[in-house]
Amino acid sequence: MRRKRIGILISGRGSNMVALAEAVRDGRIPNAEVAVVVSDQPDAAGLGKAKERGIQTLVIERRGRKREEHDREIVAALRAKNVDLVCLAGYLRVLSREFIAAYRGLILNIHPSLLPAFPGLNAQGQALENGVASTGCTVHFVDETLDAGPVVAQRSVPVHETDTVESLSARILTEEHKLYPEAVSGVLRQVAIKA
């Protein structure tokens, strides 16, 4: 049986992509490979990090293109690479209905809050503004809702009185890097290989 193939979508730094790639390499996500890293931004720092690790990268620029058309090209690229599971890792464009339908139940995202609390942008800032004692991160399936698809896994972190957006984000990110590989490993066990 062939290994399950993960496609990772990024727009920037790519630290969660690296966490997933390292977990695949170390066997913490067993029987899997990263088939491709796709960025919608040509200057995403994550692209270099993927290349350094020998992972194939693709830039499919979003600039000036309609969501549906852009997504169609990404889905075609993922299909061409026989991708079984799509992982969004700091991918900053909302997916079209068509994309979600093409990989229904096979798209994961990581979000830096305990959803349903603080969806959308600047989740860490929202947590500070609301004065919560703890926040965290969530891995969830992507559906047509914004950050409200079924939750796969969550981890909480404390919020300190002295926290800034930066310090809180860093504490959450450390947990993201552990949670995402664990969640992907669990989900992949349930994913049937197509061809």
Binding site for ligand GRF (CB under 6 A): 10, 12-16, 46, 89-90, 110-112, 173, 176
Give 52 or 69: the residue with its C-beta nearer to ligand GRF. Answer: 52
Strand 107-111: give its sheet, edge to edge. Answer: 57-59, 32-39, 4-10, 85-88, 107-111, 134-141, 151-158
* CA-angle at 75, arms to 87 and 118, nearest 5°: 40
Residue 109 near residue 140, CB atoms below 8 Å: yes
Q: Nearest approach, Cβ of 135 to ligand GRF (angstroms)?
A: 12
Please identify the residue of the shown chain whose CB is closest to the bound ligand GRF: 90
Q: Which is nearer to ligand GRF, 45 or 80 (CB)?
A: 45
- Residue 7's DSSP bridge partners are 36, 86
Residue nearer to ligand GRF on the CB measure, 4 or 177: 177
Residue with tokens 């993927």: 50
**Signed CA dihedral, 113, 119, 120, 121: sign only:** negative
Minimum distance of ligand GRF from residue 157's CB (angstroms):
12
128 CB contacts (<8 Å, ≥6 apart)? Answer: 159, 163, 164, 165, 168
CB nearer to ligand GRF: pick between 59 and 82: 59
Minimum CB separation of residue 127 from ligand GRF in Å reads: 12
Q: Is 140 a catalytic residue?
A: no
Q: How far is the CB of 106 from ligand GRF (least distance, A)?
A: 18
At its nearest, how many Å lie between ligand GRF and the CB of residue 4? 21
Q: Which residues pair with 194 in a beta bridge?
A: none
**Cβ closer to ligand GRF: 82 or 117?**
117
Query: Among 3, 17, 177, which residue's Cα sits nearest to residue 81?
Result: 3
- The contacts of residue 190 (CB under 8 Å, 6+ apart) are none
Catalytic residue set: 111
